[in-house]
Structure 1
Amino acid sequence: MSELPRSFSHSSASTFKQCPRRWKHKYIDKLPDPTGEAALVGQFAHDVLEQLCKEEPELRTEEKAKEIAGTIWPKVAERKDFKSLELNSDEQLKFRWKSWNAIKGLWDLEDPSMISVEATEQRVSTSLSGVPFLGIIDRLDRDEDGLIVVDYKTGKIPKYGNDNFNQVLLYAAAVAGKTGEQPTRARLLYLGKETKETEVSVDLLEKAVSDLSGTWGKLKSNLDNNEFETITTPLCGWCSFIAQCPAGTEFIKKRASSGKLRPDAPARSALGL
């Protein structure tokens, strides 16, 4: 029987809720889980904006962001995950343009020279309702009302639900637990698209922490019984562990035979479809 992890992040909790078996392969079996192109674009943009927001406010310009991106790019190009994408020169150029469009998308949402930034990439580790929570906050801002938790997003804006606020609300709960100061707002910056924001109330924090605690309890039960359910969805087509998952393999093969599997799904090559 495997032990509970020493820490539990929002990402880890989300993976478990999406598919307990995927969580097991990633966090217990530690099978290879290469970072995809979209995630690497996001990481590149995050790294640039982190460095940008460490600059004095008057230096937070698009020109400075380009300079930082040029400095960081060689390190990105040498990453194992990036090399595994095997992009040709044209595809690499497209990757850089995607990244730059995300970076400059910040100015569509705010003027970073006018933001009072308290911290970037702030690591928070604390117990939330008995759960050893760990998170890294993209940015902590302060205005006349108090602290604001900010998270950058480079993906699509979800059509339904407010689950994405759970992440920043958990960060807010962790900040409150560590510092004694409860943030007043939590903000999602969908770079180049729009800003989504919520006030941080005790009720919302309790709801987010309760959800995390419930997921932690289900994980403990799975570990105790060594049983990890497979939840099949169209996202199985992008799962790194599809070849190790009989139920997922059967599901994807059926989708492929019915013409429902997207041509760019990595599961096609992983399963020889």
Structure 2
Amino acid sequence: MPKRLFSCTPSKLATFADCPRRYRFAYLTQPRPPRGPAWAHNTVGAAVHAALRSWWDLPVEKRTPSGARQLLYSGWSRAGFRDDEQAQTWRARAAGWLTDYVAELDPTEEPAGTERTVGATTEALALSGRVDRIDRRGEELVVVDYKTGRWPSTSDDARSSPALALYVLGVRRTLRRACRRVELHHLPSGTVAAFEHTERSLANHVRRAEDIAVDITAATEALEAGADADAAFPPVPGQQCSWCDFRSSCPTGQAAAPARETWSFLPTEPAPTD
């Protein structure tokens, strides 16, 4: 019988690479341990992503900066913020980013996909993932990923991202078109960081992904054979334990670093723009 492919997403692989115990909590333990609270910076990112996805669903004549702002306002949440005032401040800031960003877009240039799920297979993996946007650039397609974090992205970020590389493979397989270029669009700074993959760079990412999958499979089989769960999926303590979703279920993580406030990853408070 052919060997069964390991089904995964970039997020699933990254979770194990960061902390095997967190992987076990997220994907194997039943019932799943309770997750921690929402984070304000994730709320900002989710609202911007949702508004951009919905903006492309509008009729062309309604794809305007004001239309993007209204989409952000209608989908805004105060989850993770310190209070209503902070949430409103950040809603205004995110609306400003969005207005500036869509003002530079051509609303008549339909993307090949928005929030599009793509997939591909390798010798060992069945990969899938959801791409923020897939642009048409001549005869090729381009993977576009939106970013709202405090620091602008760099070309090294674009080159080294396992997710973007695996998205390239997925776009090629799913849409049957050439694809090499990946772009990180950082809305707060209005900058774009790009990289054009080669077959070699993609192969390097695939090899690393397959190595992680081998480790996941070995750990899972050991657990099923009766190994101690913490031996098969050991914790990797560090500063990241301050914001781990499963902190409340992990004494090791609680001892490694103090908990952070859910709004602490927001940059210095900006002045409202509207």
- TM-score bin, normalised by smaller chain: 0.7 to 0.9
Q: Cα distance 1:157–1:62, how it changes in 2: closer, same or farther (>3 A)?
A: same
Q: Answer whether contact 2:118 2:130 (CA < 8 A) is retained.
A: yes
Q: Secondary structure at the match of 2:107?
A: helix
Q: Select which of 16, 24, 36 maps to 2:39.
A: 36
Q: Cα distance 1:137–1:86, how it changes in 2: closer, same or farther (>3 A)?
A: closer
Q: Residue 8 of structure 1 corresponds to which residue in structure 2?
A: 8
Q: Which has the higher helix share?
A: 1
Q: Select which of 117, 124, 133 maps to 1:130.
A: 124
With the length of structure 1 as denominator, give the TM-score of the two structures.
Answer: 0.78
Measure how far apart 1:231 and its partner are.
Answer: 1.0
The answer to whether residue 58 in structure 2 is matched with residue 55 in structure 1 is: yes
Distance 1:32 1:144 in 2: 47
Q: Answer whether contact 1:103 1:191 (CA < 8 A) is retained.
A: yes
Q: Select which of 98, 101, 125 maps to 1:106.
A: 101
Q: Answer whether contact 1:52 1:68 (CA < 8 A) is retained.
A: yes
Structure 1 residue runs of 4 or more that deviate by more than 6 Å after TM superposition: none
Distance 1:159 1:178 in 2: 27
Distance 1:55 1:164 in 2: 34
The answer to whether residue 252 in structure 2 is matched with residue 247 in structure 1 is: yes
Gaps of 5+ in 2: 224-231, 264-274
* Overall identity of the aligned pairs, in %: 22
Q: Residue 270 of structure 1 corresponds to which residue in structure 2?
A: none
Q: Select which of 163, 171, 175 maps to 1:175.
A: 171
Q: Select which of 181, 195, 214 maps to 1:198.
A: 195
Distance 2:8 2:96 in 1: 32
Q: Select which of 209, 225, 233 maps to 1:228.
A: 233
The answer to whether residue 261 in structure 2 is matched with residue 264 in structure 1 is: yes
Q: Deviations over 1:236-268 (max 9, x none)?
A: 11112223223222222xxx5xxxx8x6379xx
Distance 2:21 2:178 in 1: 35
Q: Deviations over 1:174-198 (max 9, x none)?
A: 1212333231311111112221111
Measure how far apart 1:87 and its partner are.
Answer: 4.8
Question: What RMSD over aligned residues (CA atoms) do the two structures have, in Å?
Answer: 2.8
